[in-house]
Amino acid sequence: MSWIVLESVTKRFSNVVAVNKVNLQIERQDFFTLLGPSGCGKTTTLRLIAGLEFPDEGKIYIAGRDVTMELPKNRNVAMVFQNYALYPHMTVRENIAYPLFVRKVPKKEIERKVAFVAESLQISDLLERYPQQISGGQQQRVALARAVIQTPNVFLLDEPLSNLDAKLRIEARSFLKRLSMELGTSVVYVTHDQSEAMALSTKIAVMNQGHVLQVGTPRLIYDTPANTFVASFIGNPPMNIVECRFDGSTCVLDGQRIDLSDLPLSEFPKERGFIGIRPENIAFHTKEGDLIGEVYVVEPLGFETVVTVKVNTSSLRVLVFEDVPYKSGDKIFLKLRKDKLHVFDESGARILRRDEA
Amino acid sequence: MRDPRRASRIVSYILLAPIVAFFVSPILWLIVTPFSIRPSLFISLNGFTLNNFTRVFQNRTAVNAFRNSLVISVSVVVLVTTCALLAAYVLSRHDFKGRNVLLYMLVLFSSVVSGAAAMVPIFILNLRLGLINTELGVILTLSGGIMPTALFILKDFFDSIPRTYEEAALVDGSSPLQVMFRIFLPLSSKGVIVIAMLVFTQSWSNFLVPFVLLRSTSKYPVSVAIYTFFSEVGVPDIGMISAYAFLYTLPVIFAYVLIERKFGFSFYGGIKG
C-alpha cells in the first residue's frame, strides 16, 4: 500500500462538489504536487489529508492507517499555510516550539530542537521577535521551521510561495527543493503555478473542477498530456491548441492542409478535433513549411523570444532562442515538429500513439 | 497672503462652539461643584472644601450603595462575558442548521423590544419568580438586557479573527480545548475585555432596572441611591449629589484609562495576504 492513499474521496460544500471521487496514491519519497486553477479543489484535497475537512464519501489512509474521520492531531501531519498563520501573540521561538509544546515534549529537548531548526533555516537571530516584526520571507521560514520541527508522516504545503515577491520566490523554490530532499518523508504541495510544480515535484496531479485529470511525473505530463486542459495548463507559454477538421489523416486548418499520415496514431478523429504543439516545437522558415501565417506580435524576453503568428483566424505562439528579424505583418512559413505534435479528439482527450499502451 | 480657507474655518468654529459648550459644561460642573463651599447649579468655585465628600462617607446608604453597585456590576460582567463568549464562539465558528434564523430572531427581539417597554412584564416575571427586592433579580434582568448586544459585538469580532490560526494549531497537534485556551482566547482577549468594559459601564449606570425591582434602601445601587438625597422638603442636596456623582463616575473613567494603557484599542495581525 502506498504511504498516503485517497480512495474515491468526495467533498461537497452545500451544493458544490469541491472534490469529486478523487483517487491518489502518494509514495513516501514523493514530492507530490496538486496543480490546478483556483477553485479546482486542490486546497480542499490538501485540507482533507490534513483533517481540517472530513470527506462525504471515500477513505483516506496515511501510513497504512485509516484516518478518514480522525482529528488532525491523530494524523501526525505538518502543514504550512498560504498566509503562514504564525500565532501573533507568540514569539518566533514559541511559534516554532508550539507543536512540541502541545505534545508535551520535555523542555530541554524542545530548546535543543528549536535551536537546531532555527540554525538550519537561518532564523536564529529572530527567535525573540514577534511575527509582525519580521519580513514575509522570514515569516515563511518560521512557518517552515514550525513544520519541520515535527517528525510528521507528511508535510502539507498550501501555496507557500505565493505571498513572496518574484525574486524571493525563485530563491525559496530552490531552498524548498533542497529541504524536501532532507525531510525524508512525503511532501504534498498545492500550487496554481505550473513552473513551481515542474521545478519541485517528483509527481504532479493536475486537477480541474474537483476531478484529477492526470497524475504523473512532470516530464510525462509535459510530454504526453492526457487532454487539452492539461496540455494548455502546463508550460509557459502554453501549448498551442488549435481546433481543426480531419480528413482521414490530413488535418485541415482554415483551408490549409497538414499531412499527418506519418504519425503512428491509433486512430484519427472522425471530423472535428484539435491539434496541439508546444511553442518550442515550431520553427520559422522563409520558403517552405507546413503552414503559412502572418507575424502578429514579437515579444523579446532576453534569453528567448515569443512570436505570435496569425494563421487565418487562429493564432500560434512560437518560442525561439535567437533574435528574429521579423516584424508585425511579415508573411512567414511555419515548420511543425511532427513527432512532438499531439492530436486530441472532439472531447479534448489525447489520442494515443500506437507505441503507447 | 490670506488663507482662503480662513473664513470658512471661522464660521465652523462659531457653529461648533455652542455644541462643545453643551457637552463640556456638565463635565466641568461635575468636576468643580463637589469641591465648592456653596454648591449651586452654576459652575462656580467659591472656596475649596472636602466637606461634601465627608458627608457622603458618613451616610450609610451612600457607602452601602457603592458596595451594592459593585456586586451587581461585577456579577453582570462575569455572567454576560462568559455566556456571550461561549455563545459567540459557537455562532462564529460552527455552521449549524438554523444558525441564521437564530441570529435574526435575536436581533429582532433585542432591538425591537426596548427595555422600558418591557418593564411591566419584567416586573411580573420577577414577582412570580420571587426575585423582587433581590440583587439576583437585578443581576439577571440586567444581564438579559445586555446579552444580545454583547453577543453580537463579540461574534463580529470573532468573525474578524482568521480561522487559519486555529486550523494551524489543530494541525500542529492541539486538542480542541488547547486551541481554545492557547490560541483563540489570547487572540480574542482584547475584544473580550472591551465587551466586559462595555457591560460594566452599562450595568454600573443603569437606573431603571434596580429602581423598579428593589424596595429596601439598603439594597440600592449608587444610581438609585443618588435619588434619595433630597431633604425632607424635597430640595436636592446639591453638595452631596455632586460629590456622590463625582465618585460614581470615577470607576468608569479609571477602567477606561487602565484598559487604554494596558491594551490600547488596536488589533495586531500575523496573517499575510
Interface of A with B in 199-218 (CB under 8 A): none
pLDDT number for residue B104: 83
Q: Is the pLDDT of residue B46 over 90?
A: no
pLDDT number for residue B113: 65
Residue B273 binned pLDDT confidence (cut-offs 50, 70, 90)? very low
Pairing label, strands A57-62, A4-13: antiparallel
pLDDT number for residue B32: 87
Contacting residues of B for A103, CB less than 8 Å apart: 173
**Bridge-partner residues for B48, per DSSP?**
B36
CB contact under 8 A, B173 and A86: no
| Residues of chain A with confidence (pLDDT) below 70 | 357
Residue B268 binned pLDDT confidence (cut-offs 50, 70, 90)? very low
Selected residue of A12, A75, A84, A146 to mutate for chain B interface (largest B Cβ count, 10 A)? A84
B-chain residue closest to A49, CA distance:
B171
A-chain residue closest to B190, CA distance:
A89
Contacting residues of B for A110, CB less than 8 Å apart: none
CB contact under 8 A, A83 and B172: no
Contacting residues of B for A83, CB less than 8 Å apart: 162, 164, 271-273
- In this complex, how many residue pairs, one in chain A and one in chain B, have their CB atoms less than 8 Å apart? 83
Structural element, H or E, at residue B77: helix B60-93
A163 interfaces chain B, CB cutoff of 8 Å: yes
A270 interfaces chain B, CB cutoff of 8 Å: no
Q: What is the reported pTM?
A: 0.80
B-chain residue closest to A159, CA distance:
B273
User: Residue A273: phi, psi to the nearest 5?
Assistant: -170, -175
C-alpha cell, B165: 490560526
pLDDT number for residue B267: 45
Question: Higher pLDDT residue, B15 or B258?
Answer: B15
Residue pair B124/B188 in contact (Cβ under 8 Å)? The answer is no
Q: Is the pLDDT of residue B35 over 90?
A: no
* Domains, chain A: 4-229 (3.40.50.300), 230-344 (2.40.50.140)
B60-263 topology per CATH:
MetI-like fold (1.10.3720)
Contacting residues of B for A38, CB less than 8 Å apart: none
Residue B265: name the closest of B200, B198, B205 by CA: B198
Q: Is the peptide bond before A237 cis (omega within 30 degrees of 0)?
A: yes
Contacting residues of B for A50, CB less than 8 Å apart: 171
Lowest mean pLDDT among A166-170, B81-85, B266-270: B266-270
A73 interfaces chain B, CB cutoff of 8 Å: yes
Distance CA B50, CA B69 (A): 23
